[in-house]
Amino acid sequence: MAVFTPVSEEDAAAFIAPLALGELTSLRGIPCGIENTNYFVTTNAGEFVLTLFERLSEAQLSFSLQLMLHLARKKISVPEPKADENGRMVFRLNGKAACVVTRLEGGHCQEPERHHCEQVGETLGCMHQAGSDFDMQHVNSRGYEWWFQAADRILPLLDGERRGVLIDELRFQEELTSDSSYRELPRGPVHGDLFRDNVMFSKAASQESLTGAEKLSGFFDFYFAGTDILIFDVAVCLNDWCIDRQTGALLPAMATALVEGYERARALTLPERCYLPAVLRAVALRFWLSRLVDLHFPRDSALLQAHDPEHFFRVLCHHRRSSLSDSEGSS
Q: What is the DSSP string of 63-85?
A: HHHHHHHHHHHTT-----B---T
Rg (CA), the chain: 20
Name the range with the highest mean pLDDT among 36-40, 52-56, 58-62, 231-235. 231-235
What top-level class would CATH report for the domain 114-330?
alpha beta
Q: Quick one: which of 300, 259, 205, 315 has its CA closest to 2?
A: 300
- The whole-number pLDDT of residue 26 equals 98
Whole-angstrom distance, CA of residue 10 vs CA of residue 144: 42
Q: What is the mean pLDDT of residues 121-142?
A: 98
| Percent of the chain topping pLDDT 70 | 91
- The whole-number pLDDT of residue 323 equals 81
Average pLDDT, the chain: 93
> Please, which residues have CB within 8 angstroms of residue 78's CB and are 6 or more apart in sequence?
68, 71, 72, 104, 127, 218, 219, 220, 222
Examine the pLDDT at 1 and tell me if it is beyond 60: no
Whole-angstrom distance, CA of residue 15 vs CA of residue 19: 8
Q: Among 209-213, 257-261, 276-280, whose mean pLDDT is lowest?
A: 209-213
Range list for CATH 3.30.200.20 in the chain:
9-102
Range list for CATH 3.90.1200.10 in the chain:
114-330
Examine the pLDDT at 78 and tell me if it is beyond 70: yes
Start-end of H helices in the chain: 9-16, 58-73, 114-130, 144-154, 160-177, 180-183, 231-241, 252-265, 270-296, 309-330
What top-level class would CATH report for the domain 9-102?
alpha beta
260-311 pLDDT, tens digit per residue, is: 999 999 999 999 999 999 999 999 999 999 999 999 998 765 445 678 999 9
- The whole-number pLDDT of residue 304 equals 58
Q: Quick one: which of 287, 269, 121 has its CA closest to 182?
A: 269
- The whole-number pLDDT of residue 331 equals 43
- The whole-number pLDDT of residue 91 equals 96
